Structure 1
Amino acid sequence: MARLDVTEMFNGISFPGHLHTQESLELALKFPFLDTDILIVSYPKSGTTWMQEMVSLISSRGDPHLIQTVPNWARAPWLEQYYCAAVLETSSTVPRVITTHLPHHLLGPALQGSRAKVIYVSRNPKDVVVSFYHFHKMANFLPDAGTFTEFLNRFLEGTLCFGSWFDHIKGWTSQTATVNNLLHITYEEMLLDLHGAIKRVSSFLQCPLVDEEVNNCVQHCSFSTMKNNKMVNYTMVPDDIMDHSKGSFMRKGKTGDWKNMFTEEQNQYFESTFKSKMQDCTLEFVWEVQDEEETHAKEKAV
């Protein structure tokens, strides 16, 4: 199913038609969640792939066999994409791991009354927009990115595919105070302390790990390992769908790369829009950190 130039408009939000249909989106909103399900939720380019690896490894207690033999879209399919129902139908894995980019106002009703565990992954929006921009340039199923200024404006207006980042993060994180089966974890937390993040997620999933299992998870879901794993780096996707000559899906795995893209004027515009749209939100964001691998490399060099 190519449909590379098709865009589906659904409830005022655009979705790439390559993997989304009106029927698949409608089915997602009526999905019968099981209490044993694990749902990974994020806005695109916020650490989704990383969390898929982490949950897969935690579920297998650090054994990398699954993540090295089954593509991430098969072991943690996107709920709103057309192939999801078929994948889940043929899977006997318990718990089921499902991924979604849908906002809470669309998916929330389907989750009501369910005890499915929801993991919401967020990332500072300056890095999100830069990563999403680079992804648009290689993903032939997404609209033309245009200039970075044009792309940034569309991001701030909420008119890119998958809708408004601001609505997405506020919608999901506003649930954490009242829903005890929702964990909010950030990309920056995972980057700064992957070991701690894995322990936090495993505790939330009620799947406690011994130290050796945690260490195995850390090893196999580090950015460098994922970048070289064809089951997760999307190199198996044909070039006509994702042009690998224009970039790498697993690009840098850093926080603060926005500083290499934003002009001072763009940053000021972003800050003013961010302040206006997030004035009723108490979330704090980390705009730049060193990851564990970089810190260890510097320690070894001293």
Structure 2
Amino acid sequence: MTRLRAGLRDLSFSTGEILLPRSIKTKGPMGALRRAASHWARDAFVLSYPKAGRTWFRTMIGYIISRQYNLALDNPMEIQHFWKLSSRIPNIGFTHDDSPNLKFGAEVETDKSRYAAKRILFLTRDPRDVLVSYYFDAKNRMKVIDCSIGRYLREERGSIDAIVAFYNAWAQARSRVRAFHWITYEDMHVAPRRVLREACSFLQIPEPDDALLDQAVEFASFENLRKIEMSDGFKHERLRPADPANPESYKVRRGKAGGYVDYLSEDEIAFVDEYIARHLDPFFDIYQRPSVRDRVKSEPGLVG
């Protein structure tokens, strides 16, 4: 079935590129059909909430694939297109799935049945760090909010309620897909080579040797990615500052685990900690404050 899918995928792509003008390929019924066909043809998906470390991860994985298959590429982040260069390369999609950052928590989609036949690599980061990093992205790059972080925290779309709802949706759906593998931003800091080796195995990418793992980690280091962004080295909006004079507008902003403490007040941290304790699925227990979780659990009728 995999070989048949790859053959149909390659044939339809080649035919569409040759015969169809761009206006038809990307819009209307034909555009919808192509998106559906693209989803069907994917071997796996890497899913994450925005600002969970996807740029970092996809750069490392893309670097590994490009070296394994001798691809001459200026931008290793564009992994979702690599299959067009060789049918031997897995067709991996990268998506934030349902754009939860543009919704309130109650609006986040819970039906993940469209992924039932797919391999899902799920990338998470501490919701507190996601909250702060996305705030700056939404304000300075996307420009979809213009308010204080305190107001964003309690009143705007894409805040802690949306982050937790997105994590919870996938905690519940993880057993209903073909295969599920969870990695964290924090583990990528602590043990990047192990995370990459396991991710390659899951995504059915040839196992990289130690030297290639070291090269990928070095290439995607914070310092190097920041240099690439400042020089527009990838020639792509994915890695380009909205305002070079504003360090908070960079895609590669700080690359720090636990950096939320520099931006949230004690009261705001307490609010987020309690929200997580009350609402986050136990599957993601690593993001709990045990003292807050235990206190909440001891208060009848307050969990849920």
The TM-score bracket by the shorter chain reads 0.5 to 0.7
Give how far 1:188 is off. 0.3
Corresponding residue for residue 14 of structure 2: none
Show the 5 A alignment for 1:225-236: 225-230=224-229, 236=236
Query: d(CA) in 2 for partners of 1:257 and 1:126?
Result: 9
TM-score (norm 2): 0.67
8 Å Cα contact 1:226/1:232 also seen in 2: no
In structure 1, give the amino acid aligned to 2:144.
Answer: P
Query: d(CA) in 2 for partners of 1:34 and 1:154?
Result: 37
Give how far 1:69 is off. 0.4
Greater helix percent: which structure?
2
Corresponding residue for residue 44 of structure 2: 38
Aligned with 1:57: secondary structure?
helix
TM-score (norm 1): 0.68
Q: Are positions 1:111 and 2:153 aligned together? A: no
Q: Are positions 1:99 and 2:101 aligned together? A: no
8 Å Cα contact 2:46/2:95 also seen in 1: yes
Give how far 1:225 is off. 2.1
Give how far 1:234 is off. 7.4
**Alpha-carbon RMSD:** 3.9
Gaps of 5+ in 2: 1-25, 99-107, 290-304
Aligned with 2:123: secondary structure?
strand
Q: Are positions 1:215 and 2:219 aligned together? A: no
Query: d(CA) in 2 for partners of 1:97 and 1:71?
Result: 13
Give how far 1:167 is off. 1.5
Which string of whole-angstrom CA distances, capped at 9 and with x for unpartnered residues, describes residues 35-89 of structure 1?
Answer: 66231110000011112112212323468965x60373x443xxxxxxxxxx799
Mean CA deviation greater in 225-234 or 247-256? 225-234
Which string of whole-angstrom CA distances, capped at 9 and with x for unpartnered residues, describes residues 193-213 of structure 1?
Answer: 111111111221232122222
Q: Are residues 260 and 64 of structure 1, via their aligned partners in 2, closer, same or farther at CA, if it must alter by over 3 Å?
A: farther
Q: Are residues 176 and 89 of structure 1, via their aligned partners in 2, closer, same or farther at CA, if it must alter by over 3 Å?
A: closer
Corresponding residue for residue 172 of structure 1: 170
Corresponding residue for residue 152 of structure 2: 151
**Paired residues, what number?**
249
Query: d(CA) in 2 for partners of 1:32 and 1:198?
Result: 25
Show the 5 A alignment for 1:1-302: 30=36, 33-34=39-40, 37-61=43-67, 69-70=74-75, 72=77, 74-76=78-80, 94-103=89-98, 105=109, 108-112=112-116, 114=117, 116-139=118-141, 141-154=142-155, 159-160=157-158, 164-177=162-175, 179=177, 181-206=179-204, 207-230=206-229, 236-237=236-237, 242-247=242-247, 248-278=250-280, 280-285=281-286
In structure 2, give the amino acid aligned to 1:175.
Answer: A
Give how far 1:27 is off. 6.6
Give how far 1:241 is off. 9.1
Aligned with 1:229: secondary structure?
helix
8 Å Cα contact 2:196/2:213 also seen in 1: yes
8 Å Cα contact 1:137/1:144 also seen in 2: yes
Give how far 1:90 is off. 6.6
Q: Are residues 262 and 21 of structure 1, via their aligned partners in 2, closer, same or farther at CA, if it must alter by over 3 Å?
A: farther
In structure 1, give the amino acid aligned to 2:61.
Answer: V
> Could you tell me the percent identity over the aligned residues?
20
8 Å Cα contact 2:119/2:177 also seen in 1: no
8 Å Cα contact 1:63/1:216 also seen in 2: no
Aligned with 1:40: secondary structure?
strand
Q: Are residues 241 and 188 of structure 1, via their aligned partners in 2, closer, same or farther at CA, if it must alter by over 3 Å?
A: closer
Give how far 1:152 is off. 1.2
Q: Are residues 127 and 241 of structure 1, via their aligned partners in 2, closer, same or farther at CA, if it must alter by over 3 Å?
A: closer
In structure 2, give the amino acid aligned to 1:69.
Answer: D
Give how far 1:161 is off. 8.4
Give how far 1:256 is off. 1.0
